[in-house]
Chains A and B, each alone.
Chain A
């Protein structure tokens, strides 16, 4: 059995070697994309463009504005002086947030009455808006505390804060979002390479009719499938190595856990992706269909359903169930656990089992459908 698998794998390698352009695409693009996207994918909101409408223009309001601009979060685009301009700045995206300071700020604050600073935020991008909202509240809170402290110090009263919140951030203290997103990028690039190359190489034989020749040979369907996908698993593993090295040097994406574990789990993931490719090739007859299926099954779900960008917990329950169609979901949990938290197998063995189930189901169904199809031909 093994020598037959080996023979098929050898044939496949030779064919690949002849297709220089494809090899170039497979090896060169993933690393290049990682470099470009590694810098692009982040949700770190800084330098929020603000416009300020200062009704009061007193020393206190200027103090407040200075305190805003001292942080790296806010960049002043312009001071504005009419209601109409507020609309203009938000409609035309000249500013992400307009801050309105009321004309009775000092009067009310010094006489111990409540006063509000208005923040008008462009909410089209809900996530960014939410973060701006947090910064806005924090900025007001900080200024308020400073002001109250000064006033109270003059009056000789101590400030009272019933609950002192002490937030800490583990694993990623500076809350850099790229650290979280780069593993997702790695997983996505790997699955797309594996699924598309495997599914196409199998369908190609169908389209050209050479699959019938293989069918009449003593090869069993399982041997054929294993032999055909073996080279691609190997290529993808090498690719994974390149990508990890690149992400280490470029983004300082250090691996906190064990490297061996990382490669072992990556291998399991690649086998899962390959079996997805095999499954697609079994159900499609032309490369066009295979490719369209591959993009709709591998590319978009690994982008959107895997937890790469969008947290799975926020999805409706039904969609949460559907997220299981992509092996990226499981691999991503493993990858993040090893890379970010540096934990061992005990933290993610269940994900490995899911991957195993995924592989078994696809291979079993794939082989059954393949056998049925080749009998009817």
Chain B
């Protein structure tokens, strides 16, 4: 026990001597969280549109006014022919081109259907389909007003566009802001980065510099070495979780609805697997360069893309969904989002927590065994 503690003290002394590294570990996550938290949002706003108003009447202007005051669209420019319009879309200067037909007002006055053409740049399918939804509801609202006006002036009851409508209520996140979903996901990402990368590097570094051999000839036992290396990183990892959670609450005003202690406990369980993976990487790599490449490509990238951080797992092909089952971050993400956003606790998330526990212990155990063998 004493040896381990002494070893841990040595590790911390090494950290202190490398202030750049220390700064990076503790400050970088917060800065990242701030940038990423503001940037990571899929809300579709300010969609750039060009308008080709072939009608130029008070009615068409009224419609354009409706269109811009919705807040979803921003008119980049008015164009006066199809060539210009095509040019704008090709260059990506506008996502939507709205063409108001030359007989727009006339048709509406005559109670006929006026046509409105909307050409979207479909490159970003997600943005285009959401923007199309917005436009649809703007048009529907405007149509309703026209009918109502007509009924008022003529006193005649014409068939309204129907009486059935939808009433949508969005739970947990009524404004459908994507930030609240993304920011907790970033917590998981940053914690993985800090713990995984540091462990894989720390051990390989001793190998590369040659100090590993010195450690082996000392009376320090392999498990002392492992514990001594891993405990400091566990502490650092947990500290960075706390810092990031605090930053999240203060800067983004996203409080933890559920139990904080359960969240920290799960973070600990999750860190077990990242430490184990880091240790494993260090056993299979000879240089820091190799270790880093493997850490990024074989572990970090799959964690980012397959954990449901940004891309919903339900949308993936079935085979990929199976692969995502072995990604520890997937379970941690479910826990983080459940606890922070929905206020769930152990009773609802015990399955995920136990998966993390089992994964963490087995990964850590296997890597330690492999590590010991390597040493001997």
Which residues of A does B touch, CB under 8 Å? 19, 21-22, 25-26, 29-30, 33, 36-37, 39-47, 49, 90-92, 108-109, 112-131, 133-134, 136-141, 143-145, 147-148, 152, 155, 157-177, 179-180, 192, 196-197, 200-201, 204, 284-289, 291-293, 295-296, 299-301, 303-305, 309-311, 313-316, 318-319, 322-323, 333, 336-337, 340-341, 343, 347-348
- Whether, in the assembled complex, B154 has its beta carbon less than 8 Å from a beta carbon of chain A, the answer is no
Q: Which residue from B147, B163, B348 sits with its C-beta under 8 Å from A160?
A: B147
A310-B40, A315-B39 given; A42·B124 CB < 8 A: no
Give the CA-CA distance A377 to B245 in the complex, in Å.
41
Task: Tell me which residues across on chain A come within 8 A of B320, comparing CB atoms.
Answer: 36, 39-40
Q: Which residue from A19, A124, A171, A176 sits with its C-beta under 8 Å from B287?
A: A19
Query: Across the interface, do A171 and B133 meet the contact criterion of CB distance under 8 Å?
Result: no
Query: Across the interface, do A309 and B348 meet the contact criterion of CB distance under 8 Å?
Result: no
10 A-B pairs with least C-beta separation: A134-B133, A169-B122, A175-B125, A123-B173, A123-B170, A172-B122, A126-B178, A29-B297, A140-B166, A144-B162
Query: Across the interface, do B164 and A126 meet the contact criterion of CB distance under 8 Å?
Result: no
Query: Across the interface, do A309 and B310 meet the contact criterion of CB distance under 8 Å?
Result: yes
Give the CA-CA distance A330 to B312 in the complex, in Å.
27
Give the CA-CA distance A125 to B185 in the complex, in Å.
11
Query: Across the interface, do A92 and B348 meet the contact criterion of CB distance under 8 Å?
Result: yes
Query: Across the interface, do A43 and B315 meet the contact criterion of CB distance under 8 Å?
Result: yes
- Closest residue to A25 on the B side, CB-wise? B293
- Whether, in the assembled complex, B70 has its beta carbon less than 8 Å from a beta carbon of chain A, the answer is no
Task: Tell me which residues across on chain B come within 8 A of A44, comparing CB atoms.
Answer: 125, 315
- Closest residue to B104 on the A side, CB-wise? A163
- Whether, in the assembled complex, B120 has its beta carbon less than 8 Å from a beta carbon of chain A, the answer is yes
Give the CA-CA distance A307 to B8 in the complex, in Å.
42
- Closest residue to A105 on the B side, CB-wise? B164
The 6 listed contacts between A and B (C-beta, < 8 Å) are A40-B320, A138-B136, A159-B161, A167-B120, A192-B296, A299-B296
The binding surface of chain A is classed by DSSP as helix
B147–chain A nearest beta-carbon distance, Å: 7
A287-B289, A296-B28, A315-B39 given; A133·B159 CB < 8 A: no
* Interface-facing stretch out of B86-94, B221-229, B258-266, B353-361: B86-94
Query: Across the interface, do B201 and A288 meet the contact criterion of CB distance under 8 Å?
Result: yes
Task: Tell me which residues across on chain A come within 8 A of B117, comparing CB atoms.
Answer: 166, 168
Q: Which residue from B113, B123, B136, B181 sits with its C-beta under 8 Å from A171?
A: B123
A-facing mask of B166-201, CB < 8 A → 1, else 0? 111111111111111100000001000100011001
B5–chain A nearest beta-carbon distance, Å: 24
A-facing mask of B126-149, CB < 8 A → 1, else 0? 111110110111011011001100
Residues of chain B in range 1-57 having any CB-CB distance to chain A below 8 Å = 18, 20-21, 24-25, 28, 32, 35-36, 38-48
- Closest residue to B93 on the A side, CB-wise? A347
Query: Across the interface, do B201 and A130 meet the contact criterion of CB distance under 8 Å?
Result: no
Task: Tell me which residues across on chain B come within 8 A of A33, comparing CB atoms.
Answer: 297, 301-302
A30-B297, A122-B172, A196-B292 given; A36·B302 CB < 8 A: yes
Q: Which residue from A169, A201, A285 sits with its C-beta under 8 Å from B120?
A: A169
- Closest residue to A97 on the B side, CB-wise? B168
Give the CA-CA distance A125 to B147 in the complex, in Å.
36
Give the CA-CA distance A49 to B142 in the complex, in Å.
32
- Whether, in the assembled complex, B246 has its beta carbon less than 8 Å from a beta carbon of chain A, the answer is no
Give the CA-CA distance A310 to B142 in the complex, in Å.
31
Residues of chain B in range 240-295 having any CB-CB distance to chain A below 8 Å = 285-290, 292-294
Give the CA-CA distance A264 to B162 in the complex, in Å.
57
A231–chain B nearest beta-carbon distance, Å: 14
- Closest residue to B45 on the A side, CB-wise? A314
Task: Tell me which residues across on chain B come within 8 A of A157, comparing CB atoms.
Answer: 158-159
Query: Across the interface, do A175 and B166 meet the contact criterion of CB distance under 8 Å?
Result: no
Give the CA-CA distance A147 to B161 in the complex, in Å.
10
Give the CA-CA distance A139 to B168 in the complex, in Å.
12
Residues of chain B in range 300-351 having any CB-CB distance to chain A below 8 Å = 300-302, 304-306, 310-312, 314-317, 319-320, 323-324, 337, 341-342, 344, 348
Task: Tell me which residues across on chain A come within 8 A of B292, comparing CB atoms.
Answer: 196, 200, 287, 291
Give the CA-CA distance A139 to B337 in the complex, in Å.
30
Task: Tell me which residues across on chain B come within 8 A of A90, comparing CB atoms.
Answer: 171-172
Query: Across the interface, do B91 and A343 meet the contact criterion of CB distance under 8 Å?
Result: yes
Query: Across the interface, do B201 and A304 meet the contact criterion of CB distance under 8 Å?
Result: no
Give the CA-CA distance A92 to B293 in the complex, in Å.
38
Give the CA-CA distance A204 to B114 in the complex, in Å.
69
Give the CA-CA distance A47 to B321 in the complex, in Å.
15
Query: Across the interface, do B300 and A299 meet the contact criterion of CB distance under 8 Å?
Result: yes
